[in-house]
Amino acid sequence: MSTTTATDSNTTPLEFSSVFADLTPHVEALNACLRDQVAQFEPEIREMADYCIDTSGKRIRPALVFLSGWQDEAVNPELVRVAAVIELVHLATLVHDDIMDGADIRRGRESATRSFGPEAAVLLGDALFAHALHLAAQFPTTLVCSAVAESTRRVCAGEIIQTLRRGTTTVSREDYQRVIDLKTAELFRVSCYLGSHLAEFSEDYVTAVTVFGRQLGIAYQIYDDLADFFGQESKIGKTLGTDLGSGKLTLPLMELIEASPENERASILAEITGDRAPQPELRVTQMRELGIFGRVESALEQELFIAESALDQHVDLPPVPRLLSLISILRSQVASLRPNIKGKLPVGGT
């Protein structure tokens, strides 16, 4: 699978979805499985659930399941089922996230909370969670149920900690790392674990790919936090600049604060605590001037380095070249955000 390098600024970067070239039959089987699951819901909520499982999503976690457990082209029904479980959990967290964020847009259209109201959205998320676990319980042993339930709890814990820290300015880098480890890396990790385990790979490889998944998840969240400032709304499919507005102290903001003079620092902190109106456009301009993008990119690179290294001993296994291509794709996506490539201010107010 060819990938665009970060320096190849004339080429359109590969989307995450390009990794699906070989995965088309797997993803079709996944989508059919998800539709089939939603058909088991009570009629009143079927339409709402259908709305959430729409096929425009990137399906990154299912891709990790399929690729970690890749033996050959054949579609393994166990992997399809476990991919559906994890995607349902992920979709449930998105529904609840959007309530937290008051987000109106998700994947380029109205969020569930906007369409159905936050009250129904709380319950719809619950129903998706519960159904995911019900599907997980259909495996012959309790392994999938146990792993997914534990991961789900950790994802929620990450989100809670993030919510509790909103508007506070004492978040350390360790706190940030821990939150993204819980809220994002956990499902990446469990996807790789279950994909490789159910495909009956060696314990050594299962351990290695689980580390890979976790690191890729951390890197992906850093990319996502970068995209919140440097992305294009039409491409990311969600409202931009929400992190500053909602008092979330992410890595780009931490770097900006550190690099800013004393008086400017106070005013950024006041935007985070909600004592001043947020000025995302000004902050992006400052990030450009102070080279914040490069700093964040290098933090992200460190995570990708650990991810790559984890697979060093297993390069001959069929999944590994495919998994490594995910790293290249993420790199090219990060590169596509780089301010000097864009040459224009990408943040639009919403």
Count of beta carbons in the 10 Å neighbourhood of residue 159: 18
Q: Which of 1, 75, 160, 282 binds a second copy (CB under 8 A)?
A: 160
* Three-state secondary structure call for residue 177: helix
Task: Work out whether 41 is an interface residue with a second copy (CB under 8 A).
Answer: yes
Site size toward a second copy (CB under 8 A) is: 48
Give least dist CB 181 to a second copy, A.
11
Phi, psi (deg, nearest 5) at residue 106: -145, 125
**How open is the CA angle 133-33-65, to the nearest 5 degrees?**
70
Give least dist CB 156 to a second copy, A.
4
Nearer to a second copy by C-beta: 167 or 321? 167
Give least dist CB 163 to a second copy, A.
5
Nearer to a second copy by C-beta: 122 or 259? 122
Q: Which of 69, 125, 195, 213 binds a second copy (CB under 8 A)?
A: 125
* Three-state secondary structure call for residue 285: helix
* Strand intervals (E) in the chain: 105-106, 109-110
Q: Which of 139, 233, 266, 281 binds a second copy (CB under 8 A)?
A: 139
Count of all residues that appear for the chain in the document: 350
Q: How far apart are CA 32 and CA 30, in angstroms?
A: 5
Count of beta carbons in the 10 Å neighbourhood of residue 79: 26
Task: Work out whether 174 is an interface residue with a second copy (CB under 8 A).
Answer: no
Whether 27 and 84 have beta carbons less than 8 Å apart is answered as: no
Nearer to a second copy by C-beta: 141 or 263? 141
Task: Work out whether 11 is an interface residue with a second copy (CB under 8 A).
Answer: no
Task: Work out whether 51 is an interface residue with a second copy (CB under 8 A).
Answer: no
Q: Tokens standing for 147? A: 């792993």
Q: How far apart are CA 154 and CA 142, in angstroms?
A: 18
Task: Work out whether 114 is an interface residue with a second copy (CB under 8 A).
Answer: no
* Residues binding a second copy (CB under 8 A): 41-42, 44-45, 48, 92-93, 96, 99-100, 117, 119-120, 122-127, 129-131, 133-134, 136-142, 145-146, 148-150, 152-157, 159-161, 163-164, 182
